[in-house]
Chains A and B, each alone.
Chain A
């Protein structure tokens, strides 16, 4: 079904099609529209969901935890400071193995307060135990949201999933989109049938015990194992989704990487801008390629290293600074993946677009020029760089 929708509306429609048991959410720009649209679905009887209009994001995630543990399929949406307020509960959701689905509409974290897009919110939550899937467009935000439910709920995974997409750029811009039929979505996600849940009188359970040194470590180890299992499941779900839609998803998209000498690694909507630059460079005979990372948690370390094995220089673009004096979070993970696998490929970090600073094709061209220079001279130069900032 062909439509023209904003990213938020597309995700809200995915929620309606899934018809979860509980949606608990608190408004924050730019994710506000998701619960708004959803509340109207509830008001008009389009879903059977309990919509819980909580008084904060901390309570949103707490209510999601209670609801999912009780046996309900549960969803929410947030951005920026809202995600930050959920922080404590993000870890508890993941360690309690509750497959909640969260639309994470990327926005810069305060301070100073800024409502525009960067990735500092979800990057800060990257080690909270949530699966993180990033999408370039409205179509991908929608497709990833539907797949997220199946990935998180898989018995070998049972972890919460964030569907991350860029605030305003993706959340508010209206694009063409291909929607699935309601029945197709319902059949794809199936019923949520957890083995253990609070609302089961026949088999009461206890969730969230005090876990002392005798057992805590084993539980964390199992949680880590679930994240490793998620790699396999993400690909299985993507294969099923491709059968249904013809749209192909993996850990990342390789764009014109055949024979590429220089490459950049980037997340979300900037990939769209970067692809036009790659096209232009390829026309000029420059062997440029692009890797658009889709799955950041679990991190596809081996696969990304293999994808970069043939390049002569790579730049990793981060829309969040690391504040670690070493580079952005995607950069440090990608280079760590390369270590021992594809040693010797020069890799540099670019921080870009913080607080909604525009990223233009010209900015991306500068990165490819710099990579070409590295290839030509063999000199890496500064590793930790900024793009589009006034010095």
Chain B
């Protein structure tokens, strides 16, 4: 059935309100979009790496998750969920469980790009029937906005502060989606909760119902770390995509497809300007930083287009 947002939002929410995530945070819409893609009859075991999502949604004795949920530590959501999936396979063979269960792990960029990379790599390579969803907000937001390997160049974080001699983060963002796609898993994609949520909804559906390991890298802005006005969440996401700072694409059995090409590729300033973490780039004499940022984005976009040719 073709994707239809009106039908999608009629589904029973599997991730309930009342959790303690910030207003204007990108993670809850990501979670809801992903979980909406699971058939109503299927059970879910959700795993989460330590992080904002985990501490704000499962605080004893409350849980925002209607399905089963497990958190064990920061760096091991991949391994933890892979274990649950292995148990499911064995239990199903023995007739101890009858229902279909889907296994979905959520981790922030800290728990995924950095401390959890090994565990994720192992789980993907072993081919567990699971989906790992990274909600990428580009820094360790839960501990107070420290830089991660997903932090964009020049971003001002508490461990890559924009100072008098160092202008924010000096390194490029790691290309995690490509790293995971190169595990030769059947499905990897980069997406964002945008517009009618069709892109994320369809990709989540494919990821969940493709047998084997699948990975979604999802842009999830953080109002505290990015310093934008909370009602602007959706605008910021759209700007990230229309500037090609966060291109939307998928890799199916090694084949790259760009799923959204902006009608008019906007200049990176449009994405940078509304965010406090890039404010220093707009000070007099710092034009070179904006130019450099544009160069990085253009090069990555060009590389992606070649892959998708």
Q: List residues of chain A with CB under 8 Å of any chain B CB.
A: 21-22, 24, 48-50, 52-56, 58-60, 62-72, 74, 88-89, 92, 96, 198-201, 204-212, 215, 219
Q: A198–B61 Cα gap in the complex (Å)?
A: 17
Q: A207–B122 Cα gap in the complex (Å)?
A: 22
Q: Which of B60, B71, B101 contacts A199 (CB 8 A)?
A: B101
Q: A17–B54 Cα gap in the complex (Å)?
A: 38
Q: Which 7 A-B pairs have the closest CB atoms?
A: A66-B83, A72-B87, A63-B83, A55-B122, A59-B79, A62-B79, A201-B43
A72 x B122 contact (CB < 8 A): no
Q: A287–B266 Cα gap in the complex (Å)?
A: 91
A70 x B99 contact (CB < 8 A): no
Q: A207–B76 Cα gap in the complex (Å)?
A: 15
Interface size of B by CB at 8 A reads 48
Question: What are the residues of chain B within 8 A of A67 when measuring CB–CB?
Answer: 83-84, 86-87
A66 x B47 contact (CB < 8 A): yes
Min CB gap B71→A, angstroms: 4
Q: Which of A49, A69, A96, A210 contacts B84 (CB 8 A)?
A: A69
A71 x B97 contact (CB < 8 A): yes
Question: What are the residues of chain B within 8 A of A199 when measuring CB–CB?
Answer: 43, 45, 68, 84, 87-88, 91, 97, 101
B43 x A48 contact (CB < 8 A): no
Q: How many pairs of residues, A versus B, come closer than 8 Å at their CB atoms?
A: 172
Question: What are the residues of chain B within 8 A of A72 when measuring CB–CB?
Answer: 86-88, 90-91
Min CB gap A47→B, angstroms: 10
B82 x A63 contact (CB < 8 A): yes
Q: A24–B123 Cα gap in the complex (Å)?
A: 12
Of chain A, the residue at the smallest CB distance from B92 is: A199
Question: What are the residues of chain A within 8 A of B78 when measuring CB–CB?
Answer: 59
B87 x A62 contact (CB < 8 A): no
A207 x B126 contact (CB < 8 A): no
Give me 11 other A-B pairs in contact (C-beta within 8 A), A48-B93, A66-B70, A206-B70 excluded. A52-B83, A54-B126, A62-B119, A66-B79, A70-B84, A88-B73, A201-B43, A205-B68, A206-B58, A207-B71, A209-B63
Whether, in the assembled complex, B153 has its beta carbon less than 8 Å from a beta carbon of chain A, the answer is: no
Question: What are the residues of chain B within 8 A of A201 when measuring CB–CB?
Answer: 43, 97, 99, 101
A89 x B87 contact (CB < 8 A): no
A207 x B90 contact (CB < 8 A): no
Question: What are the residues of chain A within 8 A of B79 when measuring CB–CB?
Answer: 54, 58-60, 62-63, 66
B63 x A206 contact (CB < 8 A): yes
What are 17 residue pairs bridging A and B, where the CB atoms are less than 8 Å apart in the complex? A21-B86, A21-B94, A22-B86, A48-B93, A52-B82, A58-B119, A59-B122, A66-B81, A72-B87, A72-B88, A199-B97, A201-B43, A206-B68, A208-B70, A209-B71, A210-B59, A219-B60
Of chain B, the residue at the smallest CB distance from A64 is: B83
Q: Which of B84, B93, B118 contacts A66 (CB 8 A)?
A: B84
Min CB gap A64→B, angstroms: 6
Whether, in the assembled complex, B301 has its beta carbon less than 8 Å from a beta carbon of chain A, the answer is: no
- Given A56-B118, A56-B122, A201-B99 in contact, is the A65-B72 Cβ separation under 8 Å? yes
Q: A96–B97 Cα gap in the complex (Å)?
A: 22
Q: Which of B43, B63, B87, B101 contacts A74 (CB 8 A)?
A: B87
- Interface of A, helix, strand, loop or mixed by DSSP: mixed
Min CB gap B206→A, angstroms: 23
Whether, in the assembled complex, B80 has its beta carbon less than 8 Å from a beta carbon of chain A, the answer is: yes
- Given A69-B84, A206-B58 in contact, is the A22-B65 Cβ separation under 8 Å? no
Q: List residues of chain B with CB under 8 Å of any chain A CB.
A: 43, 45, 47, 54-55, 58-61, 63, 65-73, 75-76, 78-91, 93-94, 96-97, 99, 101, 118-119, 121-123, 125-126
Question: What are the residues of chain A within 8 A of B47 when measuring CB–CB?
Answer: 66
Q: Which of B59, B70, B75, B122 contacts A212 (CB 8 A)?
A: B59
B66, B86, B94, B99: residue with the most chain A Cβ atoms closer than 10 Å: B86
Q: A210–B85 Cα gap in the complex (Å)?
A: 23
Min CB gap B54→A, angstroms: 7
Min CB gap A307→B, angstroms: 39
A204 x B43 contact (CB < 8 A): yes
Q: Which of B80, B90, B122 contacts A49 (CB 8 A)?
A: B90
Min CB gap A201→B, angstroms: 4
Question: What are the residues of chain B within 8 A of A205 when measuring CB–CB?
Answer: 68-69
Q: A22–B93 Cα gap in the complex (Å)?
A: 12
Q: Which of B54, B101, B122 contacts A210 (CB 8 A)?
A: B54
- Given A48-B93, A49-B90, A56-B122 in contact, is the A70-B73 Cβ separation under 8 Å? no
Q: A55–B121 Cα gap in the complex (Å)?
A: 9
Q: A55–B90 Cα gap in the complex (Å)?
A: 20
Q: A201–B92 Cα gap in the complex (Å)?
A: 13
Q: A218–B248 Cα gap in the complex (Å)?
A: 47
Q: A366–B228 Cα gap in the complex (Å)?
A: 75
Q: A199–B97 Cα gap in the complex (Å)?
A: 7
Question: What are the residues of chain B within 8 A of A52 when measuring CB–CB?
Answer: 82-83, 86, 126
Question: What are the residues of chain B within 8 A of A63 when measuring CB–CB?
Answer: 79-80, 82-83, 86
Q: A348–B123 Cα gap in the complex (Å)?
A: 49
A58 x B97 contact (CB < 8 A): no
Q: A209–B83 Cα gap in the complex (Å)?
A: 18
B86 x A59 contact (CB < 8 A): no
Of chain B, the residue at the smallest CB distance from A191 is: B96
Q: Which of A49, A50, A58, A60 contacts B75 (CB 8 A)?
A: A58
Min CB gap B50→A, angstroms: 9
B65, B68, B101, B122: residue with the most chain A Cβ atoms closer than 10 Å: B68
Question: What are the residues of chain B within 8 A of A88 when measuring CB–CB?
Answer: 73
Q: A210–B122 Cα gap in the complex (Å)?
A: 26
A59, A66, A71, A88: residue with the most chain B Cβ atoms closer than 10 Å: A66
Q: A211–B71 Cα gap in the complex (Å)?
A: 12
- Given A208-B72, A209-B58 in contact, is the A50-B87 Cβ separation under 8 Å? yes
Q: A253–B82 Cα gap in the complex (Å)?
A: 41
Q: A49–B93 Cα gap in the complex (Å)?
A: 9
Q: Which of A22, A53, A209 contacts B126 (CB 8 A)?
A: A53
Q: A352–B265 Cα gap in the complex (Å)?
A: 71
Min CB gap A101→B, angstroms: 14
